[in-house]
Amino acid sequence: MEVLRIEKLTKKYGKGQNEVIAVDDISFSVKKGEFVAIVGPSGSGKSTLLHLLGGVDKPTSGKVFIDGMDIYGLKEKDLSILRRRKVGFVFQAYNLIPVLTAEENILMPLLLDNRKADKQYIDELLTILDLKERRRHLPSELSGGQQQRVSIGRALANKPAIILADEPTGNLDTKNSREVLELLKYSAKKYNQTLLLISHDMNIATMADRVISIVDGKISSESFGGKEV
């Protein structure tokens, strides 16, 4: 089943001489539960693409469908509800709230949405992310890897259909990166969540079901399970 589809998506920044086509007429779709890595050189448009997919930046033209819904056809208020309910973001900078504990940070999206936490699920998340012993610690008391795992927990707390991760392990060493991504991949598969992850690291990208390479805002190649198509 298809969870995400983008059609002829284009994003331009600036005007005249300064115009940059960050995303140039890209189309693809993603199945439920699929893990897609988006790779490409710096400045190729990966982050812009991810922001467009998550409804945080408006395209110049083209459409994004999440669960069949044309998200940029929605009113701003409905788009923000859809974003909160269906999309989880993981960033390179963890963006944790310093005065809240690990667990409180993870529960934040539910609080913002006035929803009760599924206690069993949150406990399970803390276990998967190996944060049980650290749930009452503040971000300043956690290692980089642990902080990134908290930010993953926060992205997963409301069981989003789609997880969007922008260089989530950019600040971690190779060993920690691999571990954090294995956890992200494991939890996404377990809950049949779709994962789109930006990486400049081909070693990381090989963990994905499918790799989309972007150059100059366009798809330059695509491969499934290591086979180019």
Q: Could you list the residues that contact ligand ADP (CB under 6 A)?
A: 13-14, 20, 22, 40, 42-48, 140-146, 176
| Tokens read off for 125 | 């998340």
Three-state secondary structure readout of 138-187:
CHHHCCHHHHHHHHHHHHHCCCCCEEEEECCCCCCCHHHHHHHHHHHHHH
Q: Find the shortest distance in angstroms from Cβ 176 to ligand ADP.
A: 6
Q: Find the shortest distance in angstroms from Cβ 160 to ligand ADP.
A: 21
CB of 159 or CB of 218, closer to ligand ADP: 218
Which amino acid belongs to residue 112? L
Residue written as tokens 């992200």? 184
Q: Find the shortest distance in angstroms from Cβ 141 to ligand ADP.
A: 4
CB of 44 or CB of 158, closer to ligand ADP: 44
3-class secondary structure, 112: helix
Q: Find the shortest distance in angstroms from Cβ 65 to ligand ADP.
A: 21
Residue written as tokens 């294995």? 182
CB of 47 or CB of 193, closer to ligand ADP: 47
CB of 109 or CB of 217, closer to ligand ADP: 217
